[in-house]
Structure 1
Amino acid sequence: MADVSEVTGDATARTVFGLALPALGVLAAEPIYLLFDIAVVGRLGALALAGLAVGGLILAQVSTQLTFLSYGTTARASRMHGAGDERGAVREGVQATWLALGIGALVIALAHLFARPVTSAIAGGSDIAAAAESWLRIAVFGAPLILVAMAGNGWMRGVQNTVRPLRFVIAGLVVSAVACPVLVHGLWGAPRLELEGSAVANVIGQAVSASLFIGALVVERVPLRPRWHVMRAQMVLGRDLILRSLAFQACFLSAAAVASRFGAAAVAAHQVVLQLWNLVALTLDSLAIAAQALVGAALGAGHAKGATRLSWRITRWSTIFATGLALIFALGHGVIPELFTSDQAVLDEMAVAWWFFVAIMPVAGVVFALDGVLLGAGDVAFLRNATLSCALVGFLPLIWLSMLRDWGLAGIWTGLTVFIILRMLAVVWRVGTGRWAVVGADLQTRHGSDSDPAAEHDRKGG
């Protein structure tokens, strides 16, 4: 059961960062492994590396678009944890895992059906497309396993355990990291599978992580049978989160497309600064995960005022932390860019985007924290509408005007800045109204679902 100080909004910085740091480890582990995978495959030559890039981009959309299996599950499980219903919190994980397996099977079928046309569309029907297709047809068997790990992260965050997921994810990545060079280059007598070896290694590691998450559910001794009413409620959250994610994708793909119109130096500079922005976002998202788990628990325990106090406290810490990051990047403006390139044209373009990048960090500290608060409250319909509105009003018009008016990266990053500011205004207003702070253990009431007698029977220990 949640600690009293946590559900009344008096969680300490130690509690918050104790949740955030392991969550950051989980968020960072996959990108770090991908860099290792690229380094191993890169020794095969440019064609293999390009095939990995295209295939990996396609597979990455699975986790990008299906984050509701982690974030939505956390929102539901954390409420039950706050109400003292630990079995109910774990049951959310069971149902999310069933969803993960079902959706993952569908992803495999669709990937094998459309692998050739999709890779050809992205790579231009060349040898790169053939390499990407070969990698993808193997790697996609890991899709259900990736989704199972996401569901496992979701319910474990909900019960405020972010250390076990980190261990499970690292275990899988270590296995992949050992298997990857062995299978790609045929070390120690293993067959030399080249690019396909990377895909096989990925699936092996994902199987290890998924089995650990499934094993954690089994030892909890809760009913493992699927329950449609719970999965339906989880998919309602999923619908809103997917639409929100698509808004982000439309914005950043548009930005990349427009940047490419300004020449190689502009697109290279944009990509470097954007990757640094993704690193900052990853760091701030770990605090948002802590906010989500703690706020959900407070609301589940019936402490709306405590959830509100906690929301502003975490937002204050997130803003201070983001401001510190901004200061580091401001002081390093003459050094950090040169770590990525020595091309003066690219450095000049990076200088244009750099101060936008620095300026939006403190604003993002507010946005990410309050996003986590509203996710923890299950207020995803508002987040969907706010993100879509801010994208349509702020980001996209400025992106396309940048191309028409030849504003360059200054126009693109102005669009991103306006997008972040509008989102900040939206979430600050929403949290200030208090309408999000709906108490109760079950998020179904927010979506108008009927209760299920079997679920009530389980909840009472039957």
Structure 2
Amino acid sequence: MIGGHVAQFSVALTDTVMLGWYSVDALAAVVLGTQIFFLAFILGSGFAFAVMPMVAEAFAQNDETSIRRTTRMGMWLSVIYAVVMLPLFWWSQPVLVALGQDPDLSASAQDYLRVMGIGLIPALLVMVLKSYMAALEHTRVVFWITVAAAVINAFVNYALIFGNWGAPELGIIGAAIASLSVQGVMIAGAIAYTLIKLPEHDLFSRLWRPDFDAMTRVFRIGVPIGLTTLAEVGLFAAGALMMGWLGTIELAAHGIAINLAGLMFMVHLGLGNAATVRAGNALGRRDIDQLAAGARTGIWMSLIFAVFSIIVFVTQKEWLISLFLDPNDPNFDAIVTTGAAFLIAAAIFQFVDGAQALALSVLRGIMDTRVPMIMATISYWVVGVPVSYIAGFWLGWGGVGIWVGLALGLAVAALLLMWRFWKVMVPRLRDSAVPV
């Protein structure tokens, strides 16, 4: 599962690296565009994240009917949501300009998003099918499908961004077309595997028929998950917007640093997904001791990896930043210096970012989503965003101050969510021995 997330993230990482080689303006524009896309994508992914613990619980109970109904309605809700969101991508330039971004960068970001918006439908469907397969412990195929897509993305990027191999030079539009191609490959692979290897669930037969009871259950669990994840991604999007107020150099450096931090976060996310599945299985068997043991294991593994990522960021910061840039670019030195400072801040919050991710994951595994949504939103937006603004602008700390605010918001979320799981939910489940 970690490998699948790393491969998935490498798609966006490849876009960032190649556009950084192409031009700093293209890099800054894709940072803006990617933030908008992922805000929409993450909110819609709540339905896919809801499918994972629900299918895991049904799997533990050998309830194939519930597996089928849950997954189908996860796909229904994902498609409906993607269609509703398309206008945001098509008219994104006025939104970005209203948020204080440079008009030229906003126009380039809109060009990118008009192509990426089409890919939201297959992207969300892939998320649902990946959650379904992960809950059934078919994780290896998820990894290989994602790896194949990442390789294709790199080749198509190289051709269309720079105009290599006789292809037109499309710059940022080429990166968007490559990403759209990747989504097509992934959905085709996921559907093919499901039809061949999991025919007993008959997912696509009578897919056109709505199942309002199952849809309601997925919606009720999925919306708080989506809003929670949106609040977290929105925290980082707010950081990117504030970086844009500081200038193109800061925004480009932030984009590189956030991609590197995000790459490390994929490990925590994979561990969290595994914890979600194990928690759902344990809940289905009513085995609370195993639920607690699985959560402890995931948290310790996350902490160990956080130490590793801190060492890498602190000791290799300049080299890591330089990988994303053309050495001949006139802004090379300025971006490396600025980005290296941001990586120090990113290293600091590796602990808290992993901890809050694991806490959210195990809470999702036991279908506890509404209270964690409130806790996370308060942490990110009542603490994180205001502190970022105060430290970055009032105190004059610039981009580093913005990163300090991000770290503090994540730290508060980690503390509240860990308390919720260990001090509230585990005792409650022990007392009741039934789902809450």
Instruction: State the distance in 2 between where 1:344 and 1:116 align.
Output: 30
- State, as a whole percentage, how many aligned pairs show the same letter: 21
Instruction: State the distance in 1 between where 2:149 and 2:318 align.
Output: 38
Q: Aligned pair 1:228/2:212, yes or no? A: yes
- Look up the match of 2:416: 426
Asked whether the 8 Å contact 1:173–1:206 carries over to 2, the reply is no
- Look up the match of 1:458: none
Structure 1 position 32, deviation (Å): 4.0
- Look up the match of 2:81: 103
Asked whether the 8 Å contact 1:371–1:427 carries over to 2, the reply is yes
Larger-gyration structure (1/2): 1
The structure 2 residue matched to 1:384, chosen from 369, 373, 382, is 373
Structure 1 position 74, deviation (Å): 0.8
The structure 1 residue matched to 2:347, chosen from 358, 362, 384, is 358
- Look up the match of 2:145: 168
Asked whether the 8 Å contact 2:231–2:380 carries over to 1, the reply is yes
Asked whether the 8 Å contact 1:287–1:369 carries over to 2, the reply is yes
Instruction: State the distance in 2 between where 1:125 and 1:338 align.
Output: 27
Task: State the SS of the aligned residue for 1:435.
Answer: helix
- Look up the match of 1:416: 406
Cα 1:421–1:203 change in 2 (3 A) is closer
The amino acid that maps onto 1:205 is V
Cα 1:379–1:91 change in 2 (3 A) is same
Structure 1 position 358, deviation (Å): 3.0
- Look up the match of 1:277: 261
Structure 1 position 172, deviation (Å): 3.8
Cα 1:133–1:33 change in 2 (3 A) is same
The structure 2 residue matched to 1:194, chosen from 170, 177, 184, is 170
Instruction: State the distance in 2 between where 1:207 and 1:270 align.
Output: 30
- Look up the match of 1:31: 12
Instruction: State the distance in 1 between where 2:259 and 2:17 align.
Output: 17
Deviations 1:200-229 (A, max 9, x none): 444343223212323344434435443122
Cα 1:26–1:424 change in 2 (3 A) is same
Q: Aligned pair 1:237/2:213, yes or no? A: no
The amino acid that maps onto 1:208 is V
- Look up the match of 2:189: 212
Q: Aligned pair 1:159/2:136, yes or no? A: yes
Asked whether the 8 Å contact 2:292–2:426 carries over to 1, the reply is no
- Look up the match of 1:372: 361
Structure 1 position 65, deviation (Å): 2.3
Cα 1:206–1:438 change in 2 (3 A) is farther
Structure 1 position 178, deviation (Å): 4.7
Q: Aligned pair 1:405/2:395, yes or no? A: yes
Instruction: State the distance in 2 between where 1:265 and 1:127 align.
Output: 13
Structure 1 position 54, deviation (Å): 5.4
Cα 1:186–1:30 change in 2 (3 A) is closer
Deviations 1:138-172 (A, max 9, x none): 44322211111011111111112221122233344
Cα 1:170–1:270 change in 2 (3 A) is closer
The structure 2 residue matched to 1:394, chosen from 383, 391, 394, is 383
The structure 2 residue matched to 1:68, chosen from 46, 53, 62, is 46
Cα 1:74–1:323 change in 2 (3 A) is same
TM-score scaled by structure 1?
0.75
- Look up the match of 1:21: 2
Structure 1 unmatched ranges of 5 or more = 1-19, 447-462
Structure 1 position 363, deviation (Å): 3.5
Asked whether the 8 Å contact 1:148–1:213 carries over to 2, the reply is no
- Look up the match of 1:10: none
The amino acid that maps onto 2:372 is L
Cα 1:85–1:437 change in 2 (3 A) is farther
Instruction: State the distance in 2 between where 1:263 and 1:204 align.
Output: 32
The amino acid that maps onto 1:101 is V
1:284-299 correspondence to structure 2 within 5 Å: 284-299=268-283
Cα 1:322–1:124 change in 2 (3 A) is closer
Structure 2 unmatched ranges of 5 or more = none
Instruction: State the distance in 1 between where 2:37 and 2:119 align.
Output: 9
Instruction: State the distance in 2 between where 1:175 and 1:352 align.
Output: 33
Asked whether the 8 Å contact 1:152–1:165 carries over to 2, the reply is no
The amino acid that maps onto 1:30 is V
Asked whether the 8 Å contact 2:161–2:175 carries over to 1, the reply is yes
Cα 1:242–1:35 change in 2 (3 A) is same
Cα 1:151–1:26 change in 2 (3 A) is farther
1:90-169 correspondence to structure 2 within 5 Å: 90-108=68-86, 111-112=89-90, 114=91, 117-118=94-95, 126=104, 129=107, 132-169=109-146
Instruction: State the distance in 1 between where 2:119 and 2:243 align.
Output: 33
Asked whether the 8 Å contact 1:304–1:437 carries over to 2, the reply is no
Cα 1:308–1:146 change in 2 (3 A) is same
Structure 1 position 70, deviation (Å): 2.7
Instruction: State the distance in 1 between where 2:159 and 2:309 align.
Output: 39
Range that drifts further, 294-303 or 50-59: 50-59
Cα 1:23–1:209 change in 2 (3 A) is closer
Cα 1:323–1:127 change in 2 (3 A) is closer
Instruction: State the distance in 1 between where 2:366 and 2:399 align.
Output: 37
Give the RMSD, CA atoms, in angstroms. Answer: 3.8
- Look up the match of 2:287: 303
Asked whether the 8 Å contact 2:53–2:135 carries over to 1, the reply is yes
Deviations 1:239-264 (A, max 9, x none): 21232233224432443444456666
Structure 1 position 25, deviation (Å): 3.6
